[in-house]
Chains A and B, each alone.
Chain A
Amino acid sequence: QLHLQESGPGLVKPSETLSLICAVSGGSISTTSHYWGWIRQSPGKGLEWIGSIYSDGVTYYNPSLEGRVTISVDTSKNQFSLKVNSVTAPDTGVYYCTRDTVKPTPTASDSWGQGILVNVSS
């Protein structure tokens, strides 16, 4: 059974970079049937799609994050990562890594990590 696990600092200072990793187990990240993504949840904005990546490295980002986001994949470690630059207080929230199925039928996010709380504060 597929398992996703987020890891990273729970506290990030304003203006610094938020960095998270999602470790994938129980399945390969090198698949053409799925893509891998990040979604965050905050009291102020609810659920927000951050972006997604295919195993070949093609990425899609939410324009609302104004180019501050980078998602990358490391197939050798079966994991993918998220970086958000120049964070401010509104970037505080629970960050989830997800898997979306695209073949044979797009299903949206059918697997989620447990989530990691990231607080942006000095």
Chain B
Amino acid sequence: EIVLTQSPGTLSLSPGERATLSCRASQDVDYAYVAWYQQKPGQAPRLLIYGASSRAAGIPDRFSGSGSGTDFTLTVSRLEPEDFAVYYCQQYGNSPFTFGQGTKLEIK
């Protein structure tokens, strides 16, 4: 089973700033099948990025993903107030599919 480790656990930033979230896998993820999700309190996760770098339908272009092998990154170029939430990475290239423990993006 691939273990995903996200860092930092909590990221405190202000609106307008740039956020960089990291996801490291315990072994190479096949085909870079890494997804990123955003979750707000009381809601289901929402898919942001798939295939490490492709934006899901309707996702603003301030969200971008990159990476390959074991290291993946989600970047939010200019934070909007609605972006403060918990973010999870997931690998779906190797069964069982696994998630990171999450990064909480909070308002500074």
Contacts and interface: CB of A to CB of B under 8 A. Distances in A.
The binding surface of chain B is classed by DSSP as: loop
Interface string B65-108: 00000000000000000000000101010011111011000000
A113 B44 CA distance: 7
Contacts of B46: 112
B44 A112 contact: yes
A45 B67 CA distance: 26
A106 B33 contact: yes
Interface residues of B, number: 25
B13 interface: no
A116 B95 CA distance: 25
Contacts of B47: 107-110
A108 B96 contact: no
B99 A46 contact: yes
B55 to A, nearest CB: 11
B92 A108 contact: yes
B102 A110 contact: no
B54 interface: yes
Contacts of A47: 45, 88, 90, 99, 102
Interface of A: 46-49, 60, 62-64, 96, 100, 105-110, 112-115
The 4 closest A-B CB pairs, nearest first, are: A108-B35, A112-B44, A47-B99, A107-B50
